[in-house]
Amino acid sequence: MDKDLLVTKGITPIFSQKARADNFALKIGERASLVKEQGARSYGVVMTLEQAKVRELYAEENVQEYRPEKLTVEYEDGIQEEVTCYNLPVNLICGTNSAYAQKLLELTTALGFPDDFLKHIRSFV
């Protein structure tokens, strides 16, 4: 999730830090989601939000099919933590959305994520 996008919705993260999730692959259809995949590696930003704001955010029609899933991430300093990530069920990942993929590519490039991850995102553009 893009921190600036959250702020436009009136949601200010309490905590925000880059991290990676091993054994999860980023899939982009009409919408994006992480899916379990042995050997995969995805990068993103972990944000702590007020629970009321999370419920409000995921009540929106375009994301209400996302479900909370526990996964372990590793921050840049090597600390690992179990977090809740909202993912779309695999059977609902379909279609394409190259405009979304392009915006995500711009964001992940600005965040300085590894080239192999950026290349993966480019495959959806």
How many Å separate Cα 81 from the centre of its chain? 16
Q: Output the pLDDT for position 43.
A: 97
Beta strands in 1-125 (DSSP E): 15-28, 32-48, 67-75, 80-87
Half-sphere exposure of 31 (CA within 13 A, CB side): 18
11-70, pLDDT tens digit by residue? 778 888 999 999 999 999 999 999 999 999 999 999 988 888 888 888 888 889 999 999
Bigger pLDDT: 113 vs 1: 113
pTM of the model: 0.89
Nearby residues of 22 by Cβ (< 8 Å), 6 or more positions away = 40, 41, 72, 74
Bigger pLDDT: 98 vs 52: 98
* Distance, CA of 92 to CA of 27 (rounded, Å): 11
Contact 35, 90 (CB under 8 A): yes
User: Domains of the chain, with CATH numbers?
Assistant: 3-122 (3.10.490.10)
